Amino acid sequence: MGKPQTGKPQRNASSGNPPPDAARKGALRLISGVREGLSLSDQPAALARLAPADRARAQRLALAVLRNIDRADTLLVQHLSKKPRPEVLDVLRLATVELLEMGEAPHGAVNAAVGLVRGMGPKGRAAAGMVNAVLRKIADQREVWPTLPPEEMPDWLRDPIAAAWGEDAVLAIEAAHQAGAPVDFSTKPGKDAPGEALPTGSFRLIGQAQISALPGYAEGDWWVQDAAAALAVRLLDPQPGEAILDMCAAPGGKTLQLAAAGARVTALDVSEARLVRLRENLDRCGLQAEVVAGDALEWTPPEAPDAILLDAPCSATGTIRRHPDLPLIRDDSGIEGLAALQSALIDRALALLKPGGRLVFATCSLLKAEGEDQLAAALERHPGLEILRPDLPGIAPEWVTDQGGLRLRPDYWADRGGMDGFFIARLQKAGAAR
């Protein structure tokens, strides 16, 4: 390995191009924001000035670091006499992940890290020698890296998952989180999407790609949607001409599915800002829905819906494989409030639904409090409410709970790249069946 250059990265004066570390600096801004309690999605300004390619690379780098932060620290602590300043430690983590997880050439990753800390002022320059020396040692630990265990979930999440499904399930879910998530697509009827056709009807693309450049994107043939999330609408089984309320609709993947099936869709969400993206996706795909900004607990449709899709606000603990920042910025303090909101939304949906109508309740959560327990409580509150067990192509028998709900976990389809964690239940209100 050649001796790292210690000079500060320079702007190319003739071309006006940004310095080569623009993406790394963007990633470090994102990681710093997570340290301060912000999610990655809460930080659009962190990457606003980057070119699209640098923005995409910054996001990839930040995700990789957050997905491997404890593993990086396990190696770094062996070579540090004392814990460095947080911003310097972030540079060390970034370089470690680049070297050992992403296969970056040692001279490039080490040179970049030294340049980044030198750009932090006098205290950063004082740490440059340490950064250089530590990363030279880290670069020699490529064989150790694969032997490190996956990132552990925090106890507030790990313990209830272990109680529900056992320690083996916990380890399998953590391995799925570590592996990250491929990109899945849902399609209009009769259309295909890039990648492998999955047994449940979605398509999966392995590897990186510019989504907007893929065939079928401009034509609106498909949209990005995790295969597990897509099962909620497939379980609802929308029919042409049915009046269907998508009760918490944004960002809109399920609204698109409902509209593509020919239903008369009302997409309701409390956030006008989030509905902007939903409208954009409807326009791109040439699909129609009535879009309404309103509180689902207060808004009333002009007619009782034939069916309601309630993808309720939740802890989102089923999406950690694509949102590794979540365990670092959340705890269980909000679960009780979310569970109460979910119960209220179920009651409201059943009050709006026509007799004999169908309700699909879904949460992207791994916690029974937001899934199986919600279903049991709803059945107690609403005599005559019936569970319609899932009967869909590609559904493995072990995914169906004793209650008749659908429990999806990140470790399912491990050989295909996993899926988001979800709980989904299809219910029928008492009254005349459709």
pLDDT digits (tens, 9 = 90+) for 132-186: 999 999 999 999 999 999 999 999 999 999 999 999 999 999 999 999 999 999 9
Residue 18 predicted with pLDDT over 50: no
Tens digits of residue pLDDT in 254-270: 999 999 999 999 999 99
Residue 116 predicted with pLDDT over 60: yes
Of 8-22, 67-81, 163-177, the one with minimum mean pLDDT is: 8-22
3-class state of residue 234 by DSSP:
helix
State residue 352's pLDDT score.
98
Residue 126 predicted with pLDDT over 50: yes
State residue 206's pLDDT score.
84
Residue 432 predicted with pLDDT over 60: yes
Two tokens, residue 78: 């062996």
Two tokens, residue 125: 């320059």
Instruction: Round to whole Å and give the CA distance between 253 and 277.
Output: 10
State residue 1's pLDDT score.
41
Q: Report how many helices (DSSP H) and strands (DSSP E) the chain contains, helices first.
A: 14, 12
Residue 25 predicted with pLDDT over 80: yes
The b/e string for 355-380 (b: 16+ C-beta within 10 A; e otherwise) is: eebbbbbbbbbbbbbbbbebbeebbe
Residue 16 predicted with pLDDT over 50: no
Two tokens, residue 141: 């630990």
Of 14-18, 59-63, 281-285, the one with minimum mean pLDDT is: 14-18
Work out the average pLDDT over 228-254: 97
Task: Kindly report whether the global pTM for this prediction surpasses the value 0.85.
Answer: yes
**CB neighbour list of residue 253: distance below 8 Å, 6 or more residues apart:** 186, 223, 224, 225, 229, 230, 281
The mean pLDDT value of the chain amounts to 93
Instruction: Round to whole Å and give the CA distance between 371 and 327.
Output: 19
Number of CB atoms found within 10 A of residue 155's CB: 11
User: 76 with 100: CB under 8 angstroms?
Assistant: no
Model confidence band, residue 49 (pLDDT cutoffs 50, 70, 90)? very high
State residue 113's pLDDT score.
97
Work out the average pLDDT over 260-288: 96
State residue 208's pLDDT score.
82
Model confidence band, residue 342 (pLDDT cutoffs 50, 70, 90)? very high
In 46-154, alpha helices (H): 52-67, 69-76, 86-100, 106-118, 122-138
Instruction: Round to whole Å and give the CA distance between 208 and 61.
Output: 13
Two tokens, residue 198: 């999955």
Which domains does the chain show, CATH number per domain? 22-147 (1.10.940.10), 183-428 (3.40.50.150)
Model confidence band, residue 13 (pLDDT cutoffs 50, 70, 90)? very low
Instruction: Round to whole Å and give the CA distance between 152 and 83.
Output: 21
Read off φ and ψ for residue 417, nearest 5 degrees. 115, 10
3-class state of residue 247 by DSSP:
coil
State residue 6's pLDDT score.
37
Number of CB atoms found within 10 A of residue 88's CB: 21
Model confidence band, residue 4 (pLDDT cutoffs 50, 70, 90)? very low
Candidate ranges 147-151, 204-208, 210-214; pick with highest mean pLDDT: 147-151
Model confidence band, residue 196 (pLDDT cutoffs 50, 70, 90)? very high
Tens digits of residue pLDDT in 401-422: 999 999 999 999 999 999 999 9
State residue 8's pLDDT score.
39
Residue 320 predicted with pLDDT over 50: yes
Tens digits of residue pLDDT in 322-332: 999 999 999 99
Work out the average pLDDT over 358-379: 98
State residue 210's pLDDT score.
86
Does residue 364 carry a catalytic annotation?
A: yes
State residue 207's pLDDT score.
83
Q: Work out the percent of the chain whose per-residue pLDDT is above 70.
A: 95
**CB neighbour list of residue 414: distance below 8 Å, 6 or more residues apart:** 172, 175, 176
